[in-house]
Structure 1
């Protein structure tokens, strides 16, 4: 399981695919079989995101910045939660505007913090 925590590449791959699957499922028509299948595959990637994120979180404790990695972990959980809420509530025909806003804010905050921390890439 060293490939999960040796570099953040697997984690980045899982959240990129997870976000793409989420967006595809979000724009599909409600009640279709394709939307249900896409939603289930997206859920699988949510689990992979969490597993690889936990592995990176444990490795992040070695950097002495546990609070920042913990905050990023919580933001990531919030992001995944909002992705699921958007899909479930839209399938029920309920309003999802607030969930979309929280999703985008938490997604960008998580990405910023993830790239800023020592295991991230230097974009900023």
Structure 2
């Protein structure tokens, strides 16, 4: 479980997901990329749960819970954006929500004790 609770593994999975999401948005028919992205969602959730359980040792369970919920909202909005795009419906609102929730999740992730302190 220590390997899954690695911050670097979690960051790698969501960077790959962000790249795949942008590639899928740029493609006309993103079926294969969308399926790979769904697999990456699972990896993000698995590593996120492992980090959440490890984060309970720091005594800031509520903030880690909020980060977990914000991360799930990012994944949900990414999925909704791609499904709306595939169906040919307007998806701008969901795209904006992806980036809003992503920024909230990044802020919480870097603020919490297991995050990377850029100012140190």
TM-score norm. by structure 1 comes to 0.93
Q: Please state whether the residue corresponding to 1:4 is helix, strand or coil.
A: coil
Alignment correspondent of 2:19: 20
Q: CA deviation at 1:4?
A: 1.0
Q: Does 1:50 align with 2:49?
A: no
CA distance in 2, matches of 1:47, 1:23: 18
Alignment correspondent of 1:110: 105
Q: CA deviation at 1:40?
A: 0.3
Alignment correspondent of 2:4: 4
Q: Please state whether the residue corresponding to 1:2 is helix, strand or coil.
A: coil
Q: Please state whether the residue corresponding to 2:89 is helix, strand or coil.
A: coil
Structure 1 spans left out of the alignment, 5+ residues: none
CA distance in 2, matches of 1:20, 1:12: 12
Alignment correspondent of 1:80: 75
Q: CA deviation at 1:93?
A: 0.6
Structure 2 spans left out of the alignment, 5+ residues: none
Q: Does 1:62 align with 2:57?
A: yes
CA distance in 1, matches of 2:90, 2:105: 24
TM-score norm. by structure 2 comes to 0.96
CA distance in 2, matches of 1:41, 1:57: 24
